[in-house]
Amino acid sequence: MRIALFGDIHANLEALEAVLKDAAEQGCTDYVCMGDIVGYNADPSACLEKVRESNWPVVKGNHDEDASGEHSLDSMNPVAAAALEWTRDQLTLEQRDWLRTIRMVRQVEDFTVVHSTLDQPQSWNYVTNKFDAMSNFSYQFTNLCFHGHTHVPRIFVRDSRVTEVEADSIVIELGMKYFINTGSVGQPRDGDWRACYVIYDLPTSTVTFRRVEYDLATTQEKIRAAGLPDVLAERLAEGR
Ligand code: ZN
């Protein structure tokens, strides 16, 4: 069994389709979504419907929550807030209801999935270093947990202490815990513009990061045609 794990799609349909095509070519038969299906980019409805109709296990991201609600977005950064206001208008009430029902944490096979962290999933904390990762591990009861939220692929490992491992691929060993950020499909922020996701190969217990090129120009055109802030189109090319 080979499982594709991907999140932070952020309404980037071209990137999502490229990832799904690559995953199928890589022999993946199962798919798990790390949340933040919508927000920032111009195809929220199409991305939502793709995830929903596929019936993949999915966890809720902060943009899914914000798009589903009516609450004020004033405390958010203005660009993200503008995109979310626009996203709310694009989605039907029924689609927003569906976003609201998504669970915060799920267990799939032998691993756990959460958008931000297991210690306080509702707080949407960002894990950017091993110290941030420590509190998550106290609440992680499976060897392996996948998450997203920062849009930066990372591997944290807890043995007798917590370390960050830089690798494109890692073998999961018993007795250790792994907290792996699958990066972002639709708005990578690690300086590489290509869509990012991981493949978990269960027979070999191996997790491998994949980077996939997609039709960036079309995504940028759609963002501009929708009247979304231009910076959202520009940042995609820079992977930030
Ligand atoms: Zn996100």
What domains sit in the chain, N to C, each tagged with a CATH number? 2-238 (3.60.21.10)
C-alpha closest to that of 50 among 87, 80, 12, 85? 12
Q: Cα of 63 to ligand 1 centre, how many Å?
A: 7
Are residues 155 and 168 in contact, defined by beta-carbon separation less than 8 angstroms?
A: no
Cα 57 to Cα 95: distance, rounded to the nearest angstrom: 17
Q: Cα of 1 to ligand 1 centre, how many Å?
A: 27
What letter would DSSP give residue 58? B
Q: Cα of 217 to ligand 1 centre, how many Å?
A: 21
Bridge pairing between strands 144-147 and 154-158: unpaired
Cα 3 to Cα 26: distance, rounded to the nearest angstrom: 10
Are residues 200 and 217 in contact, defined by beta-carbon separation less than 8 angstroms?
A: no
What letter would DSSP give residue 116? S
Structure tokens at 227: 């009247």
Q: Cα of 203 to ligand 1 centre, how many Å?
A: 30
Q: Residue 20, SS3?
A: helix
Q: Cα of 127 to ligand 1 centre, how many Å?
A: 13
Q: Cα of 161 to ligand 1 centre, how many Å?
A: 28
Q: Cα of 52 to ligand 1 centre, how many Å?
A: 18
For position 40, what pLDDT does the model report?
97
For position 11, what pLDDT does the model report?
98
List Cβ neighbours of 64 (8 Å cut-off, separation of 6 or more): 35, 36, 37, 38, 39, 99, 102
Q: Cα of 146 to ligand 1 centre, how many Å?
A: 14
Q: Cα of 175 to ligand 1 centre, how many Å?
A: 31
Q: Cα of 112 to ligand 1 centre, how many Å?
A: 18
Q: Cα of 236 to ligand 1 centre, how many Å?
A: 13
Q: Cα of 43 to ligand 1 centre, how many Å?
A: 15
pLDDT one digit per residue (tens) for the chain, 240 residues:
999 999 999 999 999 999 999 999 999 999 999 999 999 999 999 999 999 999 999 999 999 999 999 999 988 899 999 999 999 999 999 999 999 999 999 999 999 999 999 999 999 999 999 999 999 999 999 999 999 999 999 999 999 999 999 999 999 999 999 999 999 999 999 999 999 999 999 999 999 999 999 999 999 999 999 999 999 999 999 999
Please tell me the number of Cα atoms within 13 Å of 99 on its side-chain side: 28
Q: Cα of 108 to ligand 1 centre, how many Å?
A: 21
Q: Cα of 36 to ligand 1 centre, how many Å?
A: 5
Number of other CB atoms surrounding residue 141 within 10 Å: 10
Measured CA to CA in angstroms, residue 8 lies from 12, 56, 69 at distances of 9, 15, 19
Q: What angle do CA 108, 58, 184 make, to 5 degrees?
A: 105
C-alpha closest to that of 16 among 67, 38, 158? 38
For position 154, what pLDDT does the model report?
97
Q: Cα of 65 to ligand 1 centre, how many Å?
A: 11
